[in-house]
Structure 1
Amino acid sequence: MTKHIYIYSPSSAIRDKAAFRRGVKRLQALGHEVEIDEAALSVHQRFAGDDATRLASIARAAASGADIALIARGGYGLTRILDAIPYKAIAKAIGRGTEFVGLSDFTALQSALLAKTGAVSWAGPAVGEDFGAEGGADDIMEACFDDLLSGQGEGTGWRMPARDAELKFKPVHGATLWGGNLCVLTSLLGTPYFPQVEKGVLFIEDVNEHPYRVERMLDQLRMAGVLARQRAIVFGQFTGMRKVPGYDRGFGFESVVDRLRHLLKVPVLTGLPFGHVPTKILLPVGAQVELAADGRDVFMVWGHRHAHDHHDHA
Structure 2
Amino acid sequence: MNKSVYIYSPSGAVRDKAAFRRGVRRLQALGYEVEVDSDALSSHMRFAGDDESRLRAISRACESRADIALISRGGYGITRILGQINYADVAKAIDLGTSFVGISDFTAFQAAVFAKTGRITWAGPALCEGFGVPVTQDSQPDDIMEDCFHDLMLGQGEGAGWRQDKSGFIPPEDVQLASDSVVWGGNLCVLSTLIGTEFLPSINGGILFLEDIAEHPYRIERMLTQLLYSGVLSRQKAILFGQFTGYQLGSHDKGFKFSTVIEWLRTRVNVPILTNLPYGHVQTKVLIPFGKKSDLAVSGRDAMLFWGH
Query: TM-score, normalised on structure 2?
Result: 0.96
Offset at 1:2? 2.7
Equivalent residues of 1:211, 1:242 under 8 A apart: no
User: Hey, what's the Cα distance between the residues in 1 that align with 2:271 and 2:212?
Assistant: 21
State the SS of the aligned residue for 2:31: coil
Which residue identity lines up with residue 281 of structure 1 in the other structure?
V
Q: Which runs of 5+ in 2 are unaligned?
A: none
Whether 1:86 aligns to 2:55 is no
**2:15 is matched with which residue?**
15
Residues 44-75 of structure 1: CA deviation (Å, up to 9, x unaligned):
00000000000000000001111000000000
Report the more deviating stretch, 105-114 or 170-179.
Answer: 170-179
Q: Which runs of 5+ in 1 are unaligned?
A: 305-314
User: Hey, what's the Cα distance between the residues in 1 that align with 2:245 and 2:122?
Assistant: 21
| Alignment match of 1:211 (pick from 213, 217, 231) | 217
**2:36 is matched with which residue?**
36
Alignment of 1:156-305 (within 5 A): 156-164=160-168, 166-167=170-171, 170-244=176-250, 246-303=251-308
Offset at 1:165? 6.9
Residues 66-125 of structure 1: CA deviation (Å, up to 9, x unaligned):
100000000000000000011111011000000000000000000000100000000001
Which residue identity lines up with residue 158 of structure 2 in the other structure?
E
Alignment of 1:40-119 (within 5 A): 40-119=40-119
**1:147 is matched with which residue?**
151
User: Hey, what's the Cα distance between the residues in 1 that align with 2:129 and 2:160?
Assistant: 22
Which residue identity lines up with residue 140 of structure 1 in the other structure?
I
Which residue identity lines up with residue 39 of structure 1 in the other structure?
D
User: Hey, what's the Cα distance between the residues in 1 that align with 2:219 and 2:242?
Assistant: 16
User: Hey, what's the Cα distance between the residues in 2 that align with 1:165 and 1:48?
Assistant: 41
> How many residues are paired up?
303
CA pair 181-60 structure 1, distance change in 2 beyond 3 A: same
User: Hey, what's the Cα distance between the residues in 1 that align with 2:145 and 2:210?
Assistant: 18
State the SS of the aligned residue for 1:45: coil
| Alignment match of 1:137 (pick from 137, 141, 146) | 141
User: Hey, what's the Cα distance between the residues in 2 that align with 1:165 and 1:197?
Assistant: 22
Residues 209-241 of structure 1: CA deviation (Å, up to 9, x unaligned):
011000000011101111000000100000012
Which residue identity lines up with residue 254 of structure 1 in the other structure?
S
State the SS of the aligned residue for 2:252: coil
